[in-house]
Each structure stands twice: as C-alpha cells, then as structure tokens.
Structure 1
Amino acid sequence: MLSWSTSRQRLLCNFPVLSVIKNLLSINSKWISTSANNPSPPTANALPGSLTPKAVSHTLACYSNEWRRALDFFDWVETKHSFVHTTDTFNRMIDILGKFFEFELCWALIGRMTRSPGSFPNHVTFRTMFDRYTSAHLVNEAISAYCRLEEFNLRDAVSYYNLIDALCDHQHVAEAVEICFGDMRSEDVSPNFAVDETKIHNLILRGWYKVGWWRKCRDFWEEMERKGVRKDLHSYAIYMDIVCKGGKPWKAVKLYKEMKRKGVKLDVVAYNTVVRAIGLAEGVDFSIRLVREMREAGCQPNVVTYNTIIKLLCGNGRLREAGRVLDEMRKRGCEPNVRTFNCIFVTLEKPKEILRLFDVMMGSGVSPTVETFVLLMRKFERWGFLRPVLMLWEKMIEKGCSPNQDAYNALIDALVDKGMIEMARKYDQEMYEKGLSPKPRPELTEKVEE
C-alpha cells in the first residue's frame, strides 16, 4: 500500500494519457517524462512502427469522457506521425464528439472521411450519428441525417433499420411508430426499398420494452397477431424478455413451451432469456437443468448463460456454487468477463473477500471497467473505508480508464465523509472543467461561501 502522501500526489497529478499511451503504443521515455498537465499530447521524435488502428481506437476509447484530449490525440497521430486514420478510428472519434453534442465537429470529420477512399463513411458512422442525436433528443436532426444518406450512397434498408432502432433505443418509440406507420411517412423518410415487416415490428416491440411500458408491449404483441405479422425467433426472445422484466417470468416459460410446440429452434440468446426466466419463476436449479438441455440440443452455453447462473446463485446466497460454476466455465473453454466478476462483487459484503476477488480478476487477465471501479468504491465508501477507495481510483487511472461522473461522485462522497473538503473540492472542480455535472453538496458550498 502506498503512503498517503504518495497516493495523494499521484491522485492529483496522474493523467490517463501517460499510462494508456505507454501501454498501448510503447512510447519512449521522453514522452513518459512530459508533464501530465499538458492539455494536448506531447510531441515525440519517433513512434514505433506498431502504431495500429486498433491501438489508436483503444486509446481514444480511454478518452471517452474527455473529447478535447481525444481530438488532440486524434489529430496529433495524423499530423505528427503520418498515421492514416481508418473508418473505424474516425467512427470512434465521432462517437466521442457526439457524446458531448459536438455535432458540427462530427460532420467536419465526416467531410474529412469522404476525401479518403480508405476511410469513407459506412453504416456504423451514421448509426453512431443516429444514436448520439436521439440520445440528445434531437429527433429532427437524426431524421435529417438519414435524409442526407443519398450523398454517401447509404440510403438503404440497413440505414432505415438503424434509424428506427436508434429512436427506439433512446425512448423515442412514438416517433419511430409515426415514421413506420403514421403521418411522418413523408417522401423524405419513406423507404423506396423492400422492408422486412417482422424486423420493423421487432424493433418497435423492443423499443416499448426499453421504455418499460409493459401494457403497451402487450398491446403491440397482440396487434402483431391481429395484423398477421410473422413472429420469428427474435420476436419471441424479445417478448420473453419483456414478460420476464415485467415481473411475470412464468409467462416467458409458457412462451418457451409454445416455441417448442411450433418447432421454433432456439439460439443461445433465446435460451439465455429462458434460463433467467425459469430461474426467477421456479428456482436456479431448474435453470441449471435447462443449461443441460441446451447442450443436448446442440446449443453451447456462452458467457451470458454462465453469468446468468452465477447471478441467480449469488442472489440466493449460494456463493460456493457460484465459484464452482466459475471454475466449470473455464474448464469448458468459456472465459469469464468483467460482468461475471461484477455479479459476484455485488453480493460480497466482506472487504477482504472483495480485494481477494479483485486480485483474482486482475490475475486472470480480465480488466475492470469504470462501472466495476464505481461499484467497489461505493461499497468501501458505504463501509467508511477511504484507503481502498483511493487505491481503486489510482488503479483506475493506471489502467487508463477515464473517470466518468459516477466515479468522480463516488470519490468525492468518500472524501467528504472523511472531512477532506479541500481535496474533494479539487475533484469537484475537475469534474466541472471536464463538462461533467457534480452533484450539489452542502459541505462544499458552505466552505466556498465562508
């Protein structure tokens, strides 16, 4: 464990660009020694020849909460080291800019993409734009972006599905219904190509599910029946998920039996929904039996299947059995992911067990996400332990994870609880400068007023 003075110095000065670039791009010592407070990437005399699109994309992902530094790095590798950006690296940068509503910069990048055959915009580019517009509730702008797709030769069924899916993903299902079936079917938006009615209905059904309007989901499901819309595997999988989340898992089991009667062959996604539903309705032991049935039917469980079983076992306090499932999935060649460990972290209530499992996770090569760090920081903050919170924050920075709003709030709350107001205020100000929203805290406000 680092001393308090050393920990504090690193916490205040460390900046993800150093560790991220060091790990991903193997930058020389001159770069590493550059001041961490420099707002833009420092210049270097040379970079290794292994500067790949994948490495650049990973680095940009680490700046997902700091668009200015992400854009600095994006331009820097191009201008200083002649890196030729690909469509994937452009898409990554557009996603980060869109997250902060910098849509003019997004379109400027799209303009740059069109000038190079190797980075021409694709369906992912505009799916990203649809997502960011609709998440900002800019529905008209999303529709306008779709209408411009003729310029890029991308006005097709895939883009149409992407627009409807993005609207449904971000609680604009009513607008999606209007576009597909209502008054918004104008010439600008209406497809002049064949559309799969089952797929469109599935997207809207899933949209009502994401909004959480269970009655509307049921009505729409019955409407599909009245209209004679063919229900496929995905229709059943979505509706099973709906009734399960709506607190009626036994209905999902009933639908599963209906699918079997109709001869619908289940895939692993549908099986995973039923595994969760039957576990909630009849107990985790029935879920384990269903997993055996999956294998007998030739459908191999994946990491989601095992995560579902582990979560059900942990929810019933059967932690030892959850550990055995963890071992079994490894033996069967299915490596656990960060969600696997998060399922167990949620249940653990002993600090030593959490730290031990955290070491196991790191040792197995599974990298924690920002969500993992926030989950653990909140646990230790609730128990009144500041040092593990600081250790986790430092580890998060070291791993190149750019702290989000939840991470900052977890750290600041822990500092405020221990009376470290000055340090808490520094992080509060840092949040504000990054464009994140600190939550109101009387302790910090009172100090400023004094």
Structure 2
Amino acid sequence: MATTAEKPRSAASTVPVKHSQRSNSKIPPAPRTQSFPSYHDNANIAPSVKILCEIIFKVSVPELEAALTRTGIPLLPEYVEGVLKFCYGSPAAAVKFFRWAGLTKKHTPYSWNLMVDILGKNQLFEEMWDAIRSMKQEGVLSIATFVSAFGSYCNANKISEAVMTFDVMDRYGIQPDIVTVNSLLSAICREDNQTPKALEFFERIKGKIAPDGDTFAILLEGWEKEGNVAKAKTTFGEMVIRVGWSPQNMSAYDAFLTTLVRGAQADEAIKFLLVMKGKNCLPGMKFFSNALDILIRQKDHSHAVALWDIMVGSGLVPNLIMYNAIIGLLCDNNDINNAFRYLDNMVFHGAFPDSLSYNMIFQCLIKNKKVREAARFFFEMTKNEWPPTHSNCAAAIKLFFDCDDPESAIEVWSYMITNHVSPVDESSNALLVGLCDLGRMKEVRRFAEDMLDSRNNIYESTMAKLKSGFYKEGRSASYFYDQFARRWKDHYSLKK
C-alpha cells in the first residue's frame, strides 16, 4: 500500500445497512465531511492510544516506526483499532502504523476494514484495492469491506466504479445479497442528483436479487431529496406490487407522501393517505408534522385541513405548536369557522390555547370586520387571562368606531390602561379620533387630559382633528383646546 495521500474529500460511515438501521458489523463511523475525528476531542480515549496518536501526529513518517517501537506499548487489538479511528486525516501515517503493528500481531478484521476505509475516503483507490486483496489472502474479507468501497467511490463521484465493485464481489468470495444491494443504493442516493443512477442499477439487479421494503425506501428517499414526483409515483407503484403493504415500510411511505406534498400534489397525497389508512399503514406524527409545515409554507389551507382531519381521526394527538400553526394558516386565509373549530377542539387533546392562539383569531375577526364576533371574542380572551396585543387593541378600537360600536372601543381602551398593555400611543390616538368623529367632545376632553398626564404621544394629525372638533363646539371648547395645545407643545418639546 502506498504511503502518500491526496487530500480527502470526506469520510462517510460505510456500515452495510438495512434502511434506517445500522448493522452490527464493525466499520468506522467516519463523518461525511472533512471534519475528521480527533483524539484530542475524545475524553474516553485509552492512555496508551493517546500516546500512540501523539507520536503519529507529531513525528515524521520516515521516523515513525522507530518512535513507536520505543514506546514499548503492547499492541492490543483494541489499541490498534483505537488509533486507526483517528487517522482519517493522515493516511500516510496510518499506513505506516498499520504495517508496523502488523509485524507483531495479525490484524483483526475491524482493523483491516478501518484501513480500507481510510484509504478509500482519501481517494487512494489503488492502495485500497491492494488492501482488499491482502484481506482476501488473510481470509478476513466481509460485506462491510465492500460497503466501505461503495461509499468511498460515491463520495468521490465515481458511481460507475462503485457499481463495478459490487459486480466483482463474488470474485473475492463474497456473495452479494439484498443488504449489499441496499447499501450500494444508499451510498449512491446520498450524493446529490444521483438517484437516476441508483435506479439504473436497481433495474439491472432486481431480477437477480429480489428487492425488499428497504430497497424502495432508499429510492423513494432519493426521489424525495430530488423532488421528482413522477419517478416517486412509479417507484411506489412497483413497491406495492412487489412487496405489498406493511407498517414496516413506513419510512418508504413517509418519503413518498412527502414528495407529493412538497411537489404541490397534496390532493394525491390525501388520496393515498386514505388508502393507507384502510391498509393499516398510516404514517406517524413525524410525517404529519412535516407535511403540515410544507402546506403552511405553501399557504394551502384546504389540504392542510384535510390532512389534519385524517391525522386526528386516526388517533394522533397534535400539540400546541401544531395547533397554532394551522390556526395561523386558517386565519391568513380568512377561514375563521375552521379556526374556531380548532380552537374549541384543542382542550380535548390537552393542548390549551395561549396568547398566540387567541390573538391570531382576534386579528382575523378585526381584519374581516366581524364586529359582534370580535367584541364577544375580546371578552372571552380577557376572561381567560390572555391579553390582546397592543396592535390588535389599536385595530379593534378603530374597527369598533368605524362600525358604530364606540362602547366596545372604550372597553378595549380601559382594559389596556387597567392591565398595562403597552405601548398605547396608536390606541390612544384611535380613541381620540373616534370619539371626535362622533362629536363626543366631553369624553375627548377627559381622555385627552389623562393621556397627556400619562405622557402618551398624541399625534399632530390627531391634534388637528381635535382642533376642528373643539372649535365647532364654541368659544369655551376652543379655549380649552388652545390651553391643551400649549400643554401638548410643551410636552412634545420635552420629549424631543
């Protein structure tokens, strides 16, 4: 094996997998980026392993063997394996250490697999195959070894070489099975925009090795990542024909349905969900939560309601965050009836409304000029001790004056003052203007003086409105306004 290295691209984990389930086969859990594990970061590292690592990373490669020999540390298999796990960033030193350690004791299959993985992740493919051939001679080859090669080739965007590695496994005495097929498919699909190549391999191999649910789950997750709705439908259709329906295939169903929802085909997703419900294969809360997030971003409230009803009707219990999310979507789409329905149903699922729940609905009522409903809802939310926001209070005061319900407007203002809802500037000006428009100047006078005493900010536009209203009332009222305006100017200059 050569001792020089190119700069590594990544160091992905290469355990042969069933979908979403790691095998017990030993193979290094190296990361998919160039952030290699360091022995400095591992608090549980054995003292002997730490000493060996310090030598490997501080001593030059030509002097490494002598320095290692001087330590006198017994080369237990776990020490060798422990050192190799931290050598992904230094393949030349790893090779030197591996050869030196092999002079004393035969390497374990795990150590060999670590070495193959280090070489592959550093794109030293000729050296990687030298190691694989040596492993064959030693009789320690396993599926994990080839899965490591799959991942390394795919990381390097050498998909055809990864497939070639699969094709030659039997020459090395390893018969490929469905776990091996799935491992290669997974390695290909992890790379961006490579699922078509995974499908090409699948089409070629499915007649020889029968696919299982994991096979289709891997492909469907690939189509989900690439957003290919048409291919996802085709793959899903073949899955149903070949492996039927089973709750064990939930990850495949999740990926397929998410692809449909993200691809703006929520109506198709709803249809499939109803079929799956009849087959006892309905996805779990994770899918519904993710799908709702997507529909909310798409502002698709009608499909969100349909999805929600299937979810709740199947016994799944949404939380407060999910309730607030859909109530917000419904309010944004002015679907106030459904918003009220969800608000009323929350308590049955142990998700009690909070300030956000109430304020979204209150805002929607105001926006849609539902005067009576807004007044009743204001009473309900304050009775339940969830205060309206200052902006909702200001909007409500304007609405109540515009729609001939001044008493409700005054009630909102009084609530703000009593319960210290702030800031109050927008609301106070809305109150003064509304009363002035109704000619209720005695109340304007009382509220205006209180506001000035409380150092509220009365706008210039509001003062102009008050001047017109008071001057219409005659000399006494105009005199009050002039006095008030002087106080206002003094107050305004102090604030500046």
Per the shorter chain, which TM-score range? Answer: 0.3 to 0.5
TM-score, normalised via structure 1 length: 0.46
Which one has the largest radius of gyration? 2
TM-score, normalised via structure 2 length: 0.43
